[in-house]
Amino acid sequence: MSTKSIGAEYLKGFWDENPVFRQLLGMCPTLAVTGTVITGLAMGLATTFVLIFSSLVVSSIKRLIPAQVRIASYIVVIASFVTIADQFLKAYFYPISKAMGPYVPLIVVNCIILGRQEAFASKNSVGRSFIDALGMSSGFILALLVLSTIREILGAGTFLGYQVMGAWFKPWTIMILPAGAFLTLGVLLGIALVIERKTMRS
Amino acid sequence: MSLSSRMIIVLTTVGLISGGFLAGVAQLTKERVALNIQKEIEEAIVEVVPGTTQNQKLHQEEDFTIFSGQDESGNTTGYAVQATGIGFQDKITLMFGINDSLQKITGLTIIDQKETPGLGAKITDWNAFLQFWENRDASGQLTLRKPPAGSLEELSTSEINTITGATISSQKVLEIVNLSLEKLKKIISEGKIAGERQDVN
């Protein structure tokens, strides 16, 4: 059982336990859909929806599930919410759903979600699991936004589709290719480590 | 209760509840999803066959569909062909328009593609690629111009500019169109078109 204050429970997802920069979880969507800010944001919100509802359901039925079949049960719960998110995007945000391609259904295998069920929701109260899911999702959205902002501005000269760089700017095509995702993530992880060391020393 | 029967009961219950729930969600969104796809195709037809306000599906086979377009007074504006073929990375689905004498391609639009972002994906870009498809001569085969001509005027009417850095994607689109043209001409000359009328506004 977690004994942190509610505020600390929420904030840990932003930095101390940030799913992308500190736990290195959910790398596949982080790398794949951050070519533009809009798809990065949509992925962040879809993951938030799945994580929050899965945590709510798992933390409320945790006592009923035998330990031997817990992973299978969690996955069924997660997959259901992912399918709902996928259907919703297809029905109401068709262009975004097309741009994200197979990555919405692939939220099922995003380790952030199963990881939070196993590490947190299955051991804590419904309320705390909700705060934890909210914090982790916020940290995930933050990471996707940082990555996709850098990649869209350098790779296309735009932010959310609006031109932000002058006519002199020649877009770095590599930034919107997979290689650009790895480069950006690597640099950001390096920066995160430097900040971590600096704060530990002081 | 033994552990194994508890496991079976829990998993079955979880599965049933989630299955039932998803069936409900699918019911709710089914219509809208189908509508989105249909709307996309209709918009594409209007885009490639200028002046079209209504269309009919004339012929359909795997990865190849022919629509005819009409203006408000019911005159034929031309045909729109939706075709799917292999691209550089994955399938490309496109639609092109052709006048009713089958002599002139009136426009092209890409419906679905997964080409390399920033390179092959430029096949969806008006300035880089799509503008070259307006008013092309469809009496023979279309060819690629490589290296690309500096302006639209320099191209002959049966040529399409290659996208710099995405020769294969350009080539694949051209192949799909050339193949579909042949197919379309064959089907129309054999008088095979007698598909069910499907008026859509």
Q: Which residues of A touch B (CB under 8 A)?
A: 35, 64-66, 68-69, 72-73, 76-77, 79-80, 83-84, 87-88, 90-92, 94, 98, 101, 155-156, 171, 173, 176-177
Beta-strand relationship, A162-163 and A158-159: antiparallel
Q: Tens digit of pLDDT for each residue in B92-101?
A: 999 999 988 8
**Alpha-helix residue ranges (DSSP H) falling in B49-195:** 167-189
Burial class (CB within 10 angstroms; exposed 0-12, middle 13-18, buried 19+) of B74? exposed
Q: Contacts of residue B29 in chain A, CB cutoff 8 Å?
A: 87-88, 90-91
Q: In terms of Cα–Cα distance, which of B125, B173, B131, B123 is closest to B152? A: B131
Per-residue confidence (pLDDT) for residue B192, from 0 to 100:
64
Cβ distance of A66 and B36 shorter than 8 Å: no
pLDDT for B117 beyond 80? no
Cβ distance of B117 and A65 shorter than 8 Å: no
Residue of A nearest to B14 (CA): A73
Of A12-16, A108-112, B109-113, give the lowest mean pLDDT range: A12-16
Q: Tens digit of pLDDT for each residue in A94-105?
A: 888 888 878 888
A121 in Cβ contact with A2 (< 8 Å): no
The H or E element containing residue A166 is none
Q: How far apart are CA A88 and CA A84, in angstroms?
A: 6
Query: How many angstroms away from the CA of B95 is the closest CA of chain A?
Result: 17
Residue of B nearest to A33 (CA): B117
Burial class (CB within 10 angstroms; exposed 0-12, middle 13-18, buried 19+) of A156? buried
Q: Tens digit of pLDDT for each residue in A104-117?
A: 888 998 999 999 99
Q: Tens digit of pLDDT for each residue in A47-98?
A: 999 999 999 999 999 888 888 899 999 999 999 999 999 999 999 998 888 8
Q: Tens digit of pLDDT for each residue in B38-89?
A: 899 999 999 999 888 888 888 888 899 999 888 888 888 889 999 999 999 8
- This complex has an ipTM of 0.76
Per-residue confidence (pLDDT) for residue A102, from 0 to 100:
80
Residue whose token pair is 């735009």: A158
Q: Quote the mean pLDDT of chain A.
A: 90
Nearest to B118 among A76, A79, A155 (CB): A155
- Chain B interface test: which of A158, A173, A175 (most B C-beta within 10 Å): A173
Phi first, then psi: give them for residue B93, nearest 5 degrees: -110, 125
Q: Contacts of residue B21 in chain A, CB cutoff 8 Å?
A: 80
Q: Tens digit of pLDDT for each residue in A132-171?
A: 999 999 999 999 999 999 999 999 888 988 888 888 888 8
DSSP letter at B152?
Answer: G
Cβ distance of A69 and B25 shorter than 8 Å: no
Kindly give the interhelix angle for A37-61 and A70-92, rounded to the nearest 10 degrees.
140
On the CB side of A12, how many CA atoms lie within 13 Å of its CA?
Answer: 16
pLDDT for B201 beyond 70? no
Q: Tens digit of pLDDT for each residue in B157-200?
A: 888 999 988 999 999 999 999 999 999 988 888 876 644 444 44
Per-residue confidence (pLDDT) for residue A202, from 0 to 100:
63
Q: Is A67 helix (H, G, I), strand (E, B) or coil?
A: helix
